């Protein structure tokens, strides 16, 4: 019994088990590092299958030997608590570490160390890594699409105005925020579209077919985000209305749009809808797509907001009515502010889905960021450069979505949405 107790890690035999455990873990890590960098195994003298899992065996034994409860060493206790609380967790920890060691260095080599950044043509990429020359040459098109170079300041101005309006909402007094919101929702979209499209005030007209790249991604996302929220809010209220006509109309609208794939909606708006218009009537394709995406996302937004409305206790409604508030004052001053705070994660999730859905407009001939990458990769001078383009587009979308996610989390904390 004494021999069995000796090999069971505990505080009494810490001085003997800890060094052995660290040594075994080190052997496993060194073996996987050598295999990843030099294609060499310390255990190459063993049968191939055993040699393959040897680092995992060494690491698992090492973690078992250092798994000592209340060792008195803060660092060791923290490691055991978070990564080594059981044999299963220990194996998962080792698998993650080994995967990082094996696959991250080659990825970094392709992405940075062996990549080509200098040059103007495909032949300048000779290092064997990523050819970021492709992204550099096409960067302007990836951002602005086919928009004329001399007029790109208009796109920049429209988005600077949007960022200033959004930024101002954090600093203006509360009594002016509602006016700023009204301007942002009902006035700015028309100013922004007119500034980018031109045709008046001495601005050269630019067809929407020339709009593209990241700027088009922002345009579609921004306008759909601004417009789908109030529409979704009205639909959520309509679905809970006591008037049957309004309630069933809202339910029908929501279920219709939620039951159809977005790609079908885009196809119908771009191809089928013009067939039903009277002769001589024309609605620009981009406008049709913006309306389709807005209504599609509004249906999902309505259900998110309805969840917040249902989560509120009836006492909130009764208290507002007891103060003599009418329907609209009750909802906009009492009910909706509380409901929206409860569903900030759901609203943010809907917004993120909207941003990531914008590449689908490529199927109707609008070349946003992913569409421009598809166009660039088919250029005869840059064949075989698809990977770099898609990685660039993926990183851009990740940055946008991560920023939106962090903002929603900060807003959630600021408004104290968690129930005590």
pLDDT digits (tens, 9 = 90+) for 30-68: 888 888 777 777 777 778 778 888 888 888 888 888 888
In this structure, the answer to whether residues 105 and 138 fall within a common structural domain is no
Residue 332 belongs to a domain? yes
Burial class (CB in 10 A: 0-12, 13-18, 19+), 308: buried
Average pLDDT, the chain: 86
| Residue 224 shares a structural domain with residue 355 | yes
182 occurs within a structural domain: no
How far is the C-alpha of 315 from the C-alpha of 227, rounded, in Å? Answer: 31
Asked if residue 46 and residue 86 are part of one domain, the reply reads yes
Same domain, 245 and 375: yes
Q: Helices in 67-151 by DSSP H: which ranges?
A: 74-83, 87-108, 132-144
| Domain shared by 224 and 353, yes or no | yes
The 10 Å Cβ neighbour count of residue 197 is: 18
Alpha carbons 70 and 50: distance in angstroms, whole number: 34
342 has pLDDT over 90: no
Are the CB atoms for 90 and 80 separated by under 8 Å? Answer: no
Q: Are residues 226 and 293 in the same domain?
A: yes
Average pLDDT of the segment spanning 245-266:
91
- 382 & 249 share domain: yes
As a whole number, mean pLDDT of residues 358-385 equals 89
- 183 assigned to some structural domain: no
User: Whose structure tokens read 């090492």?
Assistant: 62
Residues 218, 284: one domain? yes
Tokens matching residue 297: 């996302």
Containing structural domain, residue 42: 2-109
Indicate the pLDDT class of residue 418, thresholds 50, 70 and 90. Answer: low
Does residue 212 share a domain with residue 338? yes
Scan for tokens 């900030």, then name that residue. Answer: 344
* pLDDT for the residue numbered 280: 76
CB contact set of 189 (below 8 Å; sequence gap of 6+): 223, 226, 227
Residues 6 or more apart whose CB falls under 8 angstroms from that of 300 comprise 232, 258, 350, 353
Which distant-in-sequence residues (6+ apart) come within 8 Å of 347 by Cβ? 229, 301, 304, 305, 340, 408
Counting the structural domains of the chain, the total is 2
In a domain, 201, yes or no: no
* Contact (CB, 8 A) for 104 and 120: no
Same domain, 232 and 350: yes
pLDDT, tens digit, for every residue of 230-255? 899 999 999 988 889 999 999 999 99
Per-residue model confidence (pLDDT) at position 416: 66
Residue 5: its pLDDT value, please? 44
In a domain, 177, yes or no: no
Examine the domain organization and report whether 258 and 382 are in the same domain: yes
pLDDT tens for residues 173-218? 877 887 888 888 788 888 888 899 888 888 899 988 889 899 999 9
| Structure confidence at residue 6 (pLDDT) | 45
For the chain, how many residues are written?
Answer: 420
Q: Are residues 75 and 140 in the same domain?
A: no
Burial 204-215 (b: 16+ CB within 10 A, else e): eebebeebbbbb
Q: What is the reported pLDDT for 1?
A: 38
Sequence-distant (6+) residues with CB within 8 A of 298 are 227, 228, 229, 231, 232, 235, 257
Neighbours of 239 (CB within 10 A): 22
Structure token digits, residue 35: 């295999």
The DSSP-derived string for 3-35 is HHHHTS--STTHHHHHHHHHHHHHHHHHHHHHH
Rounded CA separation 36/208 (Å): 50
CA 92/CA 82 separation, integer angstroms? 12
Alpha-carbon gap, residue 6 to 122, rounded angstroms: 65
CA distance 27 to 394: 37
CATH number for 316: 1.10.3720.10
Percentage of the chain modeled with pLDDT above 70: 97
Helices (H) and strands (E) in the chain, counts: 19, 0
The band of 420, judged by pLDDT with boundaries at 50, 70 and 90, is very low
Phi, psi of 31 (to 5 degrees): -60, -45
Contacts of 237 (CB under 8 A, 6+ apart): 309, 331
Predicted model pTM: 0.81
Q: How far is CA 236 from CA 247, 321, 326, 415, in A?
A: 9, 20, 18, 22
Instruction: Give the model's pLDDT for residue 3.
Output: 46
- Domain contains 184: no
CA angle, corner 294, sides to 416 and 163, nearest 5?
Answer: 60
- 197 within some domain: no
Cβ-based neighbours of 243, under 8 Å, separated by 6 or more: none
Residues 368, 217: contact at Cβ < 8 Å? yes
Is 345 within the bounds of a domain?
Answer: yes
């Amino acid at each position: 019994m004494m021999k069995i107790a000796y090999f069971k890690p505990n505080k009494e035999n810490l001085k003997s088990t800890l060094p052995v455990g660290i040594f075994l873990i080190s052997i496993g890590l060194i073996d996987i590092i050598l295999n990843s960098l030099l294609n060499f195994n310390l255990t190459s003298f063993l049968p191939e299958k055993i040699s393959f899992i040897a680092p995992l065996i060494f690491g698992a034994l090492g973690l078992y030997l250092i798994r000592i409860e209340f060792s008195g060493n803060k660092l060791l206790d923290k490691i055991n608590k978070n990564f080594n609380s059981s044999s299963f967790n220990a194996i998962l920890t080792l698998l993650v570490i080994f995967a990082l060691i094996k696959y991250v260095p080659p990825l970094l080599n392709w992405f940075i160390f062996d990549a080509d950044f200098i040059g103007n043509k495909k032949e300048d990429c000779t290092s064997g890594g990523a050819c970021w020359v492709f992204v550099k040459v096409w960067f302007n098109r990836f951002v602005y699409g086919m928009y004329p170079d001399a007029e790109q300041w208009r796109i920049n101005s429209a988005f600077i105005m949007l960022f200033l309006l959004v930024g101002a909402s954090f600093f203006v007094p509360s009594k002016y925020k509602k006016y700023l919101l009204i301007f942002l929702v009902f006035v700015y979209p028309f100013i922004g579209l007119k500034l980018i499209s031109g045709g008046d005030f001495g601005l050269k007209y630019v067809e929407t077919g020339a709009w593209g790249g990241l700027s088009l991604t922002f345009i579609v996302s921004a306008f759909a985000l601004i417009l789908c929220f109030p529409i979704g809010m009205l639909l959520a209220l309509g679905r809970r209305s006591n008037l049957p006509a309004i309630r069933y109309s809202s339910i029908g609208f929501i279920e219709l749009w939620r039951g159809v794939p977005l790609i079908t909606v885009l196809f119908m708006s771009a191809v089928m809808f013009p067939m039903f218009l009277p002769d001589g009537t024309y609605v620009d394709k981009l406008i049709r797509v913006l309306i389709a995406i807005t209504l599609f996302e509004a249906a999902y937004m309505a259900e998110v907001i309805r969840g917040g409305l249902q989560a509120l206790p009836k006492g909130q409604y009764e208290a507002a009515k007891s103060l003599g508030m009418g329907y609209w004052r009750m909802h906009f001053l009492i009910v909706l502010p509380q409901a929206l705070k409860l569903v900030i994660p759901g609203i943010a999730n809907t917004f993120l889905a909207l941003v990531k859905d914008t590449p689908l407009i490529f199927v109707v001939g609008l070349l946003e960021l992913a569409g421009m990458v598809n166009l660039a990769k088919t250029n005869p001078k840059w064949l075989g450069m698809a990977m770099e383009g898609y990685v660039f587009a993926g990183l851009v979308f990740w940055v946008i979505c991560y920023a939106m996610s962090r903002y929603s989390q900060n807003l959630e904390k600021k408004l104290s949405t968690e129930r005590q």
